[in-house]
Structure 1
Amino acid sequence: MKTARIIPLLLSLSIGQALADTPINLSHDATPSVHVSIGNVKGTVTVTAWDRDQVQVGGHLGEGAKPLTIEGSNSDLTIKVQAQGKSGWLNWNSDTSMGGTTLDVRVPKGASLDVDVVSAPISIDGIEGGKIKINAVSGKARVNARTPSAEIETVSGNIELAGHADRVSLQTVSGDILAPSVGNNAELQTVSGRIRVGGGPWQKLNLSTVSGDVQLSGGLAASGTLDVDSMSGDVQLQIPANTSAAIHANTFSGDLRSDFGTVKKAEHGPGSALQTTIGSGSGKIAIETFSGDLRIRQQD
């Protein structure tokens, strides 16, 4: 009787291990501007653009995952890793019980991407022209692309955006944000992560942080606006000498220093404020911190 009970268990475990090592080799014809949705819970997601009108998927399937397929039409495709249903001794009935799946995806250069992951790091390289949207929990998101729009949200994963994006929305809780070339419209939010951002000229840039430090470098477009709000994080802003903007900056208890205008200390209690105009004052720069230090520097 004991042998009869053990044999099915061993067989199930062997089958699960075999599935964990299953290579993925799928392909589907696609339009040059295909929209591709990718979902994975654990493992990795790597997307690389190429000069073919085809989507190709390689990698290895994680233990407890259903056989992978590419679904949809040539203009709209979905690649989603899903858990198996209840089956015998293994009882795979939850995505969180799956092993890690490695997805190596190739897409046309003009493709738009919509990627959802939990603990899988994401790497995207070579997209030119398509929009990019990423939602992640703990996975790091690294994107190197030229795109009209990049929207990336993580909880604890870092965000690295290289290349160039005209319109950007980058949000994280404890992860860092690194984006050296942000285009004319950007929204950046973090709680405790650091922010390092450059680019411009910005028509509109909104940045908020609670305790994360901020380094911001770039200029404003004509009549552009730049708003920065920080609780305890330090803020350093570097702007070109030929910037045209009215600057309104204040801090409650942090130190405020500026290469433009004259900083005034509060008559009673802590706090400093700066109100000055550079150039014709066509744009607007507003910066407020509570206890974080603020530095406004002239960019070399």
Structure 2
Amino acid sequence: MKTARILPLLLCLSIGQALADTPINLSHDATPNVHVSISNVKGAVTITAWDRNQVEVGGRLGDGAKPLAIEGSASDMSIKVQPQGKSGWFSWNSDTSMSGTMLEVRVPKGASLDVDVVSAPLSIDGIDGGKIKVNTVSGKARVNARAPQVNVDSVSGTIELAGSAGKVALQTVSGDILAPNVGDEAELQTVSGRVRVNGGPWRKFNLSTVSGDVQLAGGLAKDGTFAVDSMSGDVQVTVPSGLSAILHASTFSGDLRSDFGTVQKAEHGPGSELRVTVGGGNGEMNIETFSGDLRIRKQD
């Protein structure tokens, strides 16, 4: 009798496990510069570029998700993980009944990507020529690509940009921004994460941060603009010895040191300021901190 009761239970468990571990095996012919939209709520997303004019999707589909399909045409397609049905009033929390999906996607090297993830780490490797746009909530976003434009918007995950990008817009609330090779335009924002960025020569560079430390290294293009605004983090800026710019730097309650010009202390109260023309003064640099130390260095 006990065996008769246990066997149905084991069978149910086996079926549940199988449903939670459904393999994905999809493919679709694609143009070399196809635009691919990818959406996943839970799990992970790994995107790798290859030499084939084809989009291929592997991985595992989470229990509670609708059957996955590649929708669209050879030049514009989408891959979206969605829950099977509605749960709760007015579909609130419809993803709670869906377990994590692991997406492993291969795309042509010249593809452009538009990726939305919620609670899923994201990795992109090998894109060469296509634009990349990412929105993520609580997962790390790692992008290793050669792209004319990269936009990443994150809430609580670190943004790591390897490879090279001509124009970037990176924004995070509580994660770090790490980008060793940023091209001629950069728009960076963070609240409580550290920033480590190299690149240039920058035609336009803007950085705003509240409580994270900042390390920047790079030069200005001719007539380029460079602006940094920091509230409570330390800032270090390293520029080439051949810099040509009008440089203005100030701090309210932090220490200001510079390899260019002479720092002036405020006559009354705290604060320091620096105004100097470096080289031919062909660009403009404005660096301001409130309560963090500021260091402007000349590259050796």
The normalised TM-score by structure 1 is: 0.94
RMSD: 2.0
* Shift in Å, 1:132: 0.2
The CA distance in 2 between the partners of 1:280 and 1:76, in whole Å, is: 48
| 1:135-284 superposed matches below 5 A | 135-284=135-284
Q: Using the TM superposition, give the Cα deviation of residue 285 of structure 1 relative to its aligned residue in structure 2, in angstroms.
A: 0.4
Partner of 1:4: none
The match for 2:298 is 298
Alignment partner, residue 82 of structure 2: 82
Which residue identity lines up with residue 223 of structure 2 in the other structure? S
1:55 paired to 2:77 = no
Return the offset for 1:9.
9.7
Contact 2:86/2:94 (CA < 8 Å) preserved in 1?
no
Deviation at 1:98, TM superposition (A): 1.2
Mapped partners of 1:156, 1:260: distance in 2: 37
Alpha-carbon distance, 1:16 to partner: 4.0
**Sequence identity of aligned pairs in percent?**
77
CA distance in 2 between counterparts of 1:224 and 1:112 reads: 28
Number of paired residues?
A: 292
Q: Which amino acid aligns with 1:221?
A: A
Q: CA deviation at 1:124?
A: 0.3
Find the counterpart in structure 2 of residue 41 from structure 1: 41
2:244 & 2:296 partners in 1: Cα distance? 14
Q: For 1:220-272, what per-residue CA distance to the aligned partner results, in whole angstroms no more than 9, with x for missing partners?
A: 00000000000001100000010100000101111000000000000111000
Q: Partners of 1:258 and 1:229 in 2: how far apart?
A: 17
Deviation at 1:96, TM superposition (A): 3.2
CA offset at residue 100 of structure 1? 0.7
In 1: Cα distance, 2:198 partner to 2:34 partner: 30
Asked if 2 retains the 8 angstrom alpha-carbon contact of 1:83 and 1:93, the reply is: no
Q: Counterparts of 1:103-142 in structure 2 under 5 Å?
A: 103-142=103-142
Shift of 1:187: 0.3
The AA in structure 1 aligned to 2:126 is G
Q: C-alpha displacement at 1:13, in angstroms? A: 6.3
Cα distance per residue 1:147-197 (max 9 Å; x no partner): 000000111100000110000000000100000000000000000000000
Q: Report the alpha carbon displacement of residue 97 of structure 1 after superposing the two structures with TM.
A: 2.7
Write the distance in 1 (CA, Å) between the matches of 2:224 and 2:96.
Answer: 45
Give 1:205 deviation, angstroms: 0.3
CA distance in 1, matches of 2:10, 2:271: 70
Pairwise CA distance, 1:294: 0.2
CA contact (8 A) 1:64 1:92 kept: no
Partner of 1:99: 99
SS at match of 1:118: strand
1:26 aligns with 2:26: yes
Residue 19 (structure 1) shift: 1.7
CA distance in 2, matches of 1:13, 1:245: 69
* Structure 2, unaligned runs of 5 or more: 1-6
CA distance in 2, matches of 1:152, 1:109: 19
Shift of the 80–268 alpha-carbon distance from structure 1 to 2, 3 Å rule, reads same
Paired letter, 1:242: G
CA distance in 2, matches of 1:70, 1:208: 39
Amino acid at match of 1:281: G
| Alpha-carbon distance between aligned partners in 1 of 2:92 and 2:266, rounded to the nearest angstrom | 63
Q: Distance in 2 between matches of 1:152 and 1:10?
A: 45
What's the offset of the Cα at 1:93?
Answer: 7.1
- Whether the 8 Å CA contact 1:16–1:64 is kept in 2: the answer is no
Residue 18 of structure 1 deviates from its aligned partner by 1.9
Q: Could you tell me how far apart the structure 2 residues matched to 1:207 and 1:57 are? A: 37
Q: What's the counterpart of residue 71 of structure 1?
A: 71
